[in-house]
Structure 1
Amino acid sequence: MFDCSRSLINLLPIRNQRMNHRLLLTAAVICAFFACHPGKSSVDTDNTPPPSLDAQTSLSHLQVEDPLQVQLVASEPLVVAPVAMSFDASGRAWVVEMTSYMPDTLGTGEADMNGKIVILSDSNHDGRMDTRKIFLDSLVLPRAVCLVGNGVLVAEPPKLWFIENDHDHPGKRTLVDSAYAYGGNVEHQPNGLVRAMDNCIYSAKSSKRYRYDHGRWMISDTHFRGQWGISQDNYGRLFYNNNSANVLGDYFAPGLGAGNPHQQRVRGFDETIVSNSKVYPLHHTGVNRGYVKETLDSEGRLREFTAACGPVVFRSPALGAAFENNIFVAEPAGNLVKRNILNPDSAFKVKGHQAYDGKEFLASDDERFRPVNLYTGPEGALYVVDMYRGIIQHKTYLTDYLKGEIRKRELTKPLNCGRIYRIVRAGSHPLIQPLNTSPDSLLAALHSNNGWRRDMAQQQIVDRQLQELVPQLKQILADSTGNAWIHALWALEGLHALAWNDVEPLLQDARNEQRQVQALAVLPAVVNASNSTAILAVLGHLAGSYPHLGVPIALDLPAFGNNPEAGKLSAALSMVGTNDVYLSDALISNAKDKEQQWAEGYRAMKRDTNAVFYRRLQGAIKKAAEAKLAEKNKALAKQFPRGAQIFNTVCQTCHGGDGNGIHALAPPLNGSDWVNGDPRKLSSIVLFGLGGPIRVSGKTYPEISGDMPAIGNNREFTDADIAQLLSYIRQSWYNKAAPLTEQDIRRTRDANPGRQKAFTMDELLQIK
């Protein structure tokens, strides 16, 4: 329930309608001309509503770091309201169009079935897209696309579908997950669908991952990550963010450490990578909390992220060595793109800092420039997806303040624009190069200096199951230089051609920590009943010789099942890592339903009960007990049906379905003194919002930088609805406070006539 200044939505039923392309394009040209070409090109001032600009004029308002240049790749009518895209091996862009998002401040017509997935091509090879083909239409607010094998993954909340590609027309549909996007509201549902180096597909705002293997779709648990957009680095580590956090990410391989649902969080995942969230827009910024002190500076410009999204680790040297492996973050509310420099300080940990103080990598004074996603392109350029829209805050959290700004600044229109840009070296015009997909060429592409080409080559090898390449891949694996060996390793994993004798040399290569790290990440793929004891012996030796490998070794232990040697190694690691939070959490991630047994054994050995390991174990024990309260909440949902519905669509997306909060996003509701205390304070928070420092039950949450938005102005929720919501929360989990009535909510409104400003902690404490 924290301030969200952009929203990216969900997908409803798919219908294929083949339309005459020429007729569609003609109609779109007429529509886009009147919507996006108002006949003037001056930028906004504080007194004059900012005009919508045609693509070329808007391009001229973009300021980018020297010696770089922004080039227009596509614009209306070729593309409308783009929010995500993916390049195929031919260099074509598969673009998601979210056409019906927030047509006005009421969201009128938002459920219209006019979203699309379109294929854009550069037919004359001049670096600009010039051909549009509709692959899917009649979609409601589509949000992501992922190309896999001979088809496309598409979300249809709450479902995830795989749709085969029949000559660029939708073919057979397979239901991959019936609960891909269960619960949540339009700002808070899974998205991203990034295909990572480990051959699995990950989403932001989700704790599931997907894998396509020999015609079968498999689903497994992973760590909950981010909000909108997700990316990987050259080592397969995932990076993401939430709307108020610049960069979050993982230290360890994404497929490990998520085996215990009783852990609130596993350290080493969802870490703060860049803590500095200051932004530097070029002009006045209209945001949801613009009236809150310190949100805007003295010139009305946004101070810190409020809509961070679409991060990308830029894995290309095309802009120059200084920009390679930087992580870029979009901020549509501030009309800018942030550049961050990553600083690995070990084989695992990585931190970062902003590239500049007081300015941005890319910024515009065109208020409708809304960068929502960033990508590395086939030619190595940095791509920017610009939704080009006035309203990006969803109605669920829209304040009266921002409604007023939208009216005053005439930001409701246009609705038929959209742009895709790329950033290149000034004066260059690189071609959008396809990937040669012959087997020999795919091997060569694994050595490319462009991460997109390496990823695509690996995916082609795995999707097509090119077993004839196994010998050459093993030869590449022996080479410790460059990045090709990593992709060869995971390509072999995807071909099910990897064996223990391929992995062991990497584990033993103490000169190259990354080879050891990748070997540990891929190890579960080669463990079997005949080799598990031998492998554990090697791991035990490594743990003793290289203590820094203890965490990834501990994360690997579930692969060994009930092998008693695994238990011995786990015990040995716990002896040396009692106060290491990363190692403690890695070990506890293997203790599902054994937490109490582990705690009893720990106490029996009379070990320090103040140690990090024991305290973290107690947290898991508490959460396991809370899981048993699910039946209580089912009964409450029957008693307060509207309250439960609102909680599942609005509150749980930030506070968690278990009420225990989500790291860097929102504090717990379970056991909260605000929830269980004076109902006037709780209803004030929900009706009017909460800003400033956040302290719950004596604990301050400094990692949470966003404000909690109010829902009191949302016409979808009556006072009776809000009373049900708070009653449901006040009696859920361990909470045992009395329910509220509609009259209680009305009294809080009456006590604060005309209030728009969010409450602070100090103000709430003064309520007696």
Structure 2
Amino acid sequence: MKVYIYAFLILIVFSLYQCQSYKKASTLKSVSDKPIDFSQSPVVPANESIGKMLIEDGFEVELIAAEPMVTTPVAMSFDQKGRMWVVEMNGYMPDTLGTGEDKPSGKIVILEDKNKDGIADERKLVLDSLVLPRAICLIEDGILVAEPPNLWYYELKNDKPVKRTLVDNKYAVDGNVEHQPNGLLRALDNWIYNAKSSKRYRKQGDKWLIEDTHFRGQWGISQDNYGRLYYNDNSTNLLGDYFSPGFGATNRNQRSVDGFSERTVPDNRVYPIRPTPGVNRGYSPGTLDDSLRLRNFTAACGPLIYRGDLFGSAFDFNAFVAEPSANLIKRNILKENGNAVNGEQAYKNKEFLASVDERFRPVSLYNGPDGALYVVDMYRGIIQHKTYVTPYLSGQIKARNLTLPLACGRIYKIVPKGKKPVAVTIPNDPDKLIALLGSTNGFVRDMAQQTLIDGKYKQAIPHLKAILKETTNPLQVIHAIWTLEGLNALETNEVLPLLKNTNWPIRMQALTVLPSVINLSSYEYYVKALNDLIEANDELAAPYVAFVSKYIKPFNEQAADNMLVGLVKKYPNNSFVSDAVISNLAYREERFKESIAKFEPDTNLKINKQLQRVITAYNNTKKNRDPDVLAKQFPKGSALFLSTCQTCHSHDGNGIASLAPPLNKSQWVNGEKNTLISIVLFGLTGPVNVNGHVYQAPEIAGDMPGIGHSDEISDEDIAQLLSFIRSSWQNNGGKIDVKDVVSVREKLKGRQKAFTVEELESKN
């Protein structure tokens, strides 16, 4: 142990020395000077790295913290005092093989600007000896920390842990580092949501509630002013929900619900200002343009809905997305259209911010207490996880010495030129907090709400109830609703008038909060109010009425079903309403379909088509093989599927929208075994036809990475994996032996690039 500690300390010192020595040796010029030698990627001092950035006219980048004050930051959160709590994932990819990645080197630290000059000058260690920590959330007198596979809650005193509670020992069991839950977003509805996860959490006294919700995204998650969630995956600009996040995930037979995981911004084009050959598939035709610059997102992450009040009205309802592989941050402009939210890129042929510094790796973006946009820069050479590193990328890393140093990291903020933003400190005064619920800064509103709830400020309740009767500031009304909900003080006589409010966002929140207030003594009032919305032809509210009927059912099943029938009669061709109705019908889909056929017999109507899709999927699922039996037969294959495959192809093998096509009943899985082995070893570039349907971006990611280059995955592992997949669900492909994998690997010796469908078909 002593040897390890000494070796680790030497490595840290050496990395810090390299950061400093590279600073002195750097000869990189600003983006306006030419020529720039892109064959080298030296470490650039943080303040000089700003000079390598091009940013939208009228804005500037300010340095908040840099090494050694912060190292390898991946996520952060502000507290009431405006201090930054930062997650340091120091163990991530020490080299291309990931050597030592499992060492307890991760930390949670607090960075504070004591002298108020805009730069952090004090670092305080909160937690250390963590293995690849990835997310935090401040709540009450403690902090949630995601440290795979666990989610911990640490009670704190004077910023030091005094007690640790295990919240979820299966928070991040499956998937590798690139494909594990993260985010821990404390949302408007007082639940905590995650990316790359279908769970949500809530602290209730000394207990933690865990509920299933929709599966969302890959790295990073954000919300808009109405609590709708936004996320993405590595090849997708922006995904999002049209409806409040707690609804619609209650029917296990329903694989997707219209209005959730929607492609908010379909354009995935990026515009780096430097050559970017150091991406995993840089060798693949079409990945890079003629100037060797990335064409489309390959590492999209950290999406943020800007909710500050500093940038001006043109930036209201804008979404920013980080792309560390291309050293840039994209801006998107969003618009509402009925229930839907759609967007487009703000610019053509340029980005909001882009850098020529290859080590500039923005991974997470945040709204701040001063209205600025904060950028977490991991600042390192390697960002691709070892599972998928291709020999091509390894060569790029070696050519430009991108492995070391490891102990760098920066945090920046973006502000309009000429403005001196002032951070709002969140007080512990209930009257002041109530006023802040009406702030023009969304971050401040969120913090005021959370502080009132965490502080259990019951004396604020009368003032909050008074706000519900105001209409001059809808956002303050919305936060008052949810603050009362969090204090368990919202009552029926306050919610019913809100359901009639002419302002749709207020009506939306009143519908969303109903599950928290419906009970035996109040449900009849809500039944009447919901039926009134149906009769009033409130089509915006109709999907919400369908979602909420689930919470009427325990008290009056007939009234709940009558509501669903009423919605079908009104909106039989509305896909949002149809899927919202179906979300209530787990294991009752066929019976309901027969009942509505009496008045809606047309099989082409949305409600009937979507019902039949769910019925067919359920009937197919009943034919699936027992996964527990297969896991015992192929233990390594089952484990490898869970860690590497199911994060994109789904646990049921039926694929995930925007990520990957089905494996279940796929001709590629059940067909010629050497073809399947070739795909898994080296990957596949789309589009790909699976059982008569052509899957291509944006319906799926453009590429499936191969795992044949991983030193941690043996040929025996791959043989078991493929045998497991070919025997799972309704596949009948048969077993694959290790000698089959060895033979294919030998035949393809020296190959690096992924296969195309045309190549594979020409071989057969």
Instruction: Report the TM-score when normalising by structure 1.
Output: 0.94
Equivalent residues of 1:330, 1:372 under 8 A apart: yes
Secondary structure of the equivalent of 1:675?
A: helix
Unaligned stretches of 5+ in structure 2? 30-34
Aligned to 1:443: 434
Aligned counterparts of 2:37 and 2:675: Cα–Cα separation in 1: 36
Q: Does 1:243 align with 2:271?
A: no
Counterpart pick for 1:663 among 640, 648, 657: 657
CA contact (8 A) 2:362 2:376 kept: yes
Aligned equivalent of 2:119: 128
Tell me the residue number matched to 2:320: 328
Structure 2 residue aligned with 1:40, among 22, 26, 38? 26
More divergent stretch after superposition (97-106 vs 630-639): 630-639
Structure with greater contact order relative to length (CA < 8 Å, sep ≥ 6)? 1
1:204 aligns with 2:195: yes
CA distance in 1 between partners of 2:184 and 2:346 (Å)? 28
TM-score normalised by length of structure 2: 0.94
Alignment-derived partner of residue 647 in structure 1: 641
Q: Which residue number corresponds to residue 708 of structure 1?
A: 704
- Cross-structure match for 1:485: 477
Aligned equivalent of 1:6:
none
Q: CA deviation at 1:624?
A: 3.6
1:581·1:613 contact (CA, 8 Å) conserved in 2? Answer: yes
Match of residue 745, structure 1, among 730, 741, 747: 741
| 8 Å CA contact retained: 2:108, 2:126 | yes
Q: Indicate conservation of the 8 Å contact 1:309/1:331, yes or no.
A: yes
- Alignment match of 1:291 (pick from 269, 279, 283): 283
What root-mean-square deviation, in Å, do the aligned CA atoms of Structure 1 and Structure 2 show? 2.0
Q: Is the 8 A contact 2:461 2:489 kept in 1?
A: yes
| Residues 321-470 of structure 1 mapped to structure 2, 5 A cutoff | 321-346=313-338, 348-470=339-461
Counterparts of 1:28 and 1:78 in 2: how far apart (Å)?
A: 16
Q: Which residue of 2 aligns with 1:585?
A: 579
Gap change, CA 1:613 and 1:432, over 3 Å in 2:
same
CA distance in 1, matches of 2:317, 2:688: 34
Partner SS state of residue 763, structure 1: helix
C-alpha deviation, 1:634, in angstroms: 1.1
Letter in 2 for 1:722: I
How many Å apart are 1:541 and its aligned residue?
A: 1.9
Of 86, 91, 100, 1:95 maps to: 86
Gaps of 5+ in 1: 1-16, 18-22
Q: How many angstroms apart in 2 are the aligned matches of 1:48 and 1:290?
A: 15
Q: Distance in 1 between matches of 2:433 and 2:261?
A: 33
Alignment of 1:117-196 (within 5 A): 117-196=108-187
Report matched runs for 1:453-532 at 5 Å. Answer: 453-482=444-473, 483-509=475-501, 511-532=502-523
Q: Give the C-alpha shift of residue 614 in structure 1.
A: 2.7
CA drift of 1:646 comes to 0.7
In 1, distance between residues paired with 2:106 and 2:267? 36
Question: How many angstroms apart in 2 are the aligned matches of 1:721 and 1:629?
Answer: 27
Evaluate the alpha carbon distance shift between residue 591 and residue 306 of structure 1 in structure 2; reply closer, same or farther with a 3 A threshold. same
The Cα shift of 1:599 comes to 3.6
Rounded Cα–Cα distance in structure 1 between residues aligned with 2:71 and 2:661:
37
Q: Distance in 1 between matches of 2:298 and 2:13?
A: 36
Distance (Å, rounded) in 2 between the aligned partners of 1:472 and 1:72: 40
SS at match of 1:245: coil
State the AA in 2 paired with 1:371. Answer: P
1:619 aligns to 2:613 (yes or no): yes
Q: Cα gap change, 1:470/1:396 in structure 2, threshold over 3 Å: closer, same or farther?
A: same
* Cα separation, 2, equivalents of 1:648 and 1:625: 24
* Distance change (3 Å), C-alpha of 1:47 and 1:116: closer
1:711-739 superposed Cα distances (whole Å, 9 cap, x missing partner) = 11112222222111111101100111111
CA distance in 2, matches of 1:183, 1:583: 34
Change (3 A) 1:261 1:45: farther
Match of 2:49 in 1: 58
Give the AA of the match of 1:522. V
CA distance in 2, matches of 1:197, 1:324: 18
Report which stretch shifted further, 30-39 or 95-104: 30-39
Q: Return the offset for 1:613.
A: 2.2
Deviations 1:457-508 (A, max 9, x none): 0001111121111111112122223311110011011111111211111111
Question: Does 1:689 find its partner at 2:680?
Answer: no
Which amino acid in the other structure matches residue 312 of structure 2?
A: G
SS in structure 2 at match of 1:37: helix
- In structure 1, what is the equivalent of residue 32 of structure 2? none
Distance 1:635 1:38, change over 3 A: farther
Do the aligned partners of 2:134 and 2:147 also contact (CA within 8 Å) in 1?
Answer: no
Map 1:66-85 to 2 at 5 A: 66-85=57-76
1:318 aligns with 2:345: no
Match of 2:570 among 576, 579, 594: 576
Within 2, Cα distance between the matches of 1:392 and 1:304? 17
State the partner residue of 1:7.
none
Whether contact under 8 Å (1:125, 1:431) holds in the other structure is no
Distance 1:595 1:385 in 2: 47
What is the SS of the residue equivalent to 2:86?
Answer: strand
Q: Once the two structures are aligned, what percentage of the paired residues are identical? A: 52
> Partner amino acid for 1:492?
L
Match of 2:273 in 1: 282
Shift of 1:34: 3.8
Structure 1 match to 2:732:
736
Residues 343 and 28 (structure 1), Cα distance of their counterparts in 2 relative to 1, 3 Å cut? farther
Cα distance 1:30–1:571, how it changes in 2: closer, same or farther (>3 A)? closer
CA–CA distance in 2 between the matches of 1:531 and 1:88?
38
**What does the per-residue CA deviation read over 1:150-173, in whole Å, with 9 as the maximum and x for residues that have no partner?**
000012322211100111101111
Residues 142 and 156 of structure 2 are in contact (CA less than 8 Å); yes or no, is this contact kept in structure 1? Answer: yes
Quick one: structure 1 residues 440 and 163, their matched pair in 2 at CA, closer, same or farther if it must change by over 3 Å? Answer: same
Comparing 750-759 with 332-341, which one deviates more in the overlay? 750-759
Evaluate the alpha carbon distance shift between residue 343 and residue 380 of structure 1 in structure 2; reply closer, same or farther with a 3 A threshold.
same
Alpha-carbon distance between aligned partners in 2 of 1:45 and 1:402, rounded to the nearest angstrom: 22
Q: Deviation of residue 623 (structure 1)?
A: 3.9
Counterpart of 1:559 (choices 551, 566, 572) is 551
Amino acid at match of 2:237: N
Q: Count residues with an aligned counterpart.
A: 744
The 1-side partners of 2:318 and 2:310 are apart by: 12
For residues 385-417 of structure 1, give each alpha carbon's deviation from its aligned partner in whole angstroms, at most 9, with x where no partner exists.
Answer: 000010000000011110111111111111010
CA contact (8 A) 1:35 1:414 kept: no
Q: Write the letter of the residue equivalent to 2:40.
A: P
